[in-house]
Structure 1
Amino acid sequence: MTTATKDFMLPDLGEGLTESQLVAWNVRVGDRVSLNQSIADVETAKALVELPSPYAGVVSRLYVEPGTTVGVGEKLLAFDIDETADAGETPPPAAAPPAAAPPATAPPTAAPAAAASAAAESQAAEPAAAPPADDSPLPNLVGYGAKAETGARPTRRPHTPPTGGPGSSRSERLETHPARRSSSLQHERIETRTPITGVRRHTADAMVRSAFTAPHVTTFLTIDVTPTLDLLTRLQGSGELAGHRVTVLTAVAKAVCLAISRTPAVNAHWDEEAGEIVQFGTVNLGIAAATPRGLMVPNIKNAEALTLAELADALTDLVTTAKAGRTGPEDLAGGTISITNVGVFGVDAGTPILNPGEAAILALGAVRRQPWEHEGGIALRSVVTLALSFDHRLVDGEQGSRFLADVGRILSDPARLIAMI
């Protein structure tokens, strides 16, 4: 049997990505692998991707270490393969969908849609009569932990007290006291440094570009959503929504899709290069989510065509996929408008930053039971604040206000929907 050495270079993973960071090897030198077997996990600027083996053979060399950023076309590893068996070789397959990530400690949150100030994922209290209120897009997502923290190095800076001789001051003598020394040692400051790579780098660049390119305007609206919560409870109890996890976020997502039909300017894109305003013909609804790898905004394609139950299922799938670490570039591309659910952190409102390329993002605050004017009196109601940020090049103040008011009307009195469609 004749063998030959074949190098495998980082393939083009699409979406215009030119480099990826090697997160982990799934093989070692000397391992025999089969065609399409997982050989490595790499992190692009948008997702964690599992690379399949383009050959069946023995791993003879690993060219890069985990934590290294590799450009498209650069060598990753080498295989010793049977030349005879390779005679009918076909081109290497494309990268497989993102791999599920091993457990680790999850970091920050959600943030601007680009973020709602972006990922995540604590939960706001809901009325007792309300439907399930776990609206967190990504509560406690798993990640790569130590692998994702490659390069982190703690730096200790212990406090060194003076020696405290006969001529020393009272404060110096106190510092030399055994109890004080013990206390100071317990308060050592520890720094960690982590390379800015992958999704975190991409998100930071996108946020800066969005904040300093699109003129942001944010407007707020506080509404009584008790009627919507009551309606969802009745629908679930009567069976129409049985088996579907319909939450406040689901209702808001549906309201956004409906309100867009009356104010399509919020579902558009400013194409600077072409000198055109692009009006999207469909709603690809992004849901901002903070993950251990940073902020992501996967989107639900053609959300405007989905029923309430279908939208609930799509949101559930989005969460499940993200928790499993399988959110791929295709799930992150093509968004047209976004929602960020800051309410899951107990936050009432915020001023979210636009997801680059989109005209608007809606922040959903925490639903709170509080006194509210109702039918000529004061009653305890479920109240929430909505905050809409929009690109003032694309959306006038009147348009932004009308859109937000429409969303509010749908949520505060679902029956009005009949008059709006």
Structure 2
Amino acid sequence: MRIALFEDRIASENFAPIALLRPAFELLCGQFSARERCMRFLPVTDWGAFLRSELVDVYQEENPDSHVNDLDWLRLAPTLFINGRWLADPAALGECDPDTAGIIDGHVAYLTLEPSDVSRLTGDSVDVVLMEIARERRRVKAPGFLAQYPWDLVHHNSVQLKADFALRRFGTSKVGQLGPQVAIVGDPNQIYIAPSSSIDPFVVIDSRKGPVTIEDDCLIQAFTRLEGPCHVGRGSQLFRANVREGTSIGPICRVGGEIEGSILHGYVNKYHDGFLGHSYICPWVNLGAMTTNSDLKNDYSPVKIPLRGESINSGELKVGCFIGDHTKTAIGSLFNTGSSIGVMCLVLPDGELLPKHIPSFSRIWHGDLIDGLALDAGLSTARYAMERRNIELTDAQEQLLRTIHADSQLERERAIERFFARSNFANG
């Protein structure tokens, strides 16, 4: 089976800052990204990806077996195109009829592209052409939904965690080998613990609200509580953590404190106490001690979130923060409800709530928003942080960061102007 995942215009425009360094179909929701879910639950023999031009080199480097933006590959045989924003029960992936076009809210969720149609992709955006082709097919309503914004991933996470668990075929679980000092609350069949993981005494695993998955080589330290549905990825370590329902923790994370309904993509360090709620945190983020976010307004009104600086009404009552790759926060950082923090930001607070919009490559310096980040120094810090986990910052990744730095210059300038205008007004 040949598949191709694609980003449409909504994916490329609406998912900053968490998708600035990756296509939308590599964002985590449930136990997997959309691409990982396809590879696990479909009989894929060959696959491709269609994404933003600035991501091509890094994505090809990270996925050498993929065909990235490759029209010649599409001409070889029919290929199932899958929208990278599509969130559905894994079972639905195997039910995509090649003779139909799956549609959700006027957008293509899936469609089989014939080799004769490939020439039509050379003009407009992929999603525009796919919709034109869909109008020539028998259109059906696809199950699930298409995420439109980062908070959709967070709010759908519990549902996706349950669906992913139900379809997985697990091997031997360590649940039956735990000592009496590890408390299992709820159905043990809704818990999977990889045999190579270590569970200390005085850990509580609660599956009453949904399944709990602990992958290979994890360490769950004493006085940690895990409430399903939740997922702990390969090699992650939990230190006295209170992990509440709807949380996904990706691979190689260090996690402590209270986490509720949040997604830690992978390689995130949140070792210390502090609350993280209804948030999405990207790789190589370090949250300093007592870094905390609000996820509910005092008046219970819907939360507005700055998307590239423009305020968007989420329509949701609980929205936390969205933090891009390589951002670091200092001790006592306090994020307001519905905050957006970009790539490679440095946050040094002054004890008050931080600005809701911190553009990529900005600094919060004792409470002031400034464009004072030395890019080469930031790259050096990123290189060092990644080397600590035996990961290399490649030339392609560095170039992508430099590209995002240049592309975000205007956003930084406007955000700083607004910040000081508000500060001057507040000071009379």
- Tell me which interval the TM-score lies in, with the shorter structure as reference length: under 0.3
Greater Rg by CA: 1
TM (norm. structure 1) is 0.26
Q: Which has the higher contact order (CA 8 A, sep 6+)?
A: 1
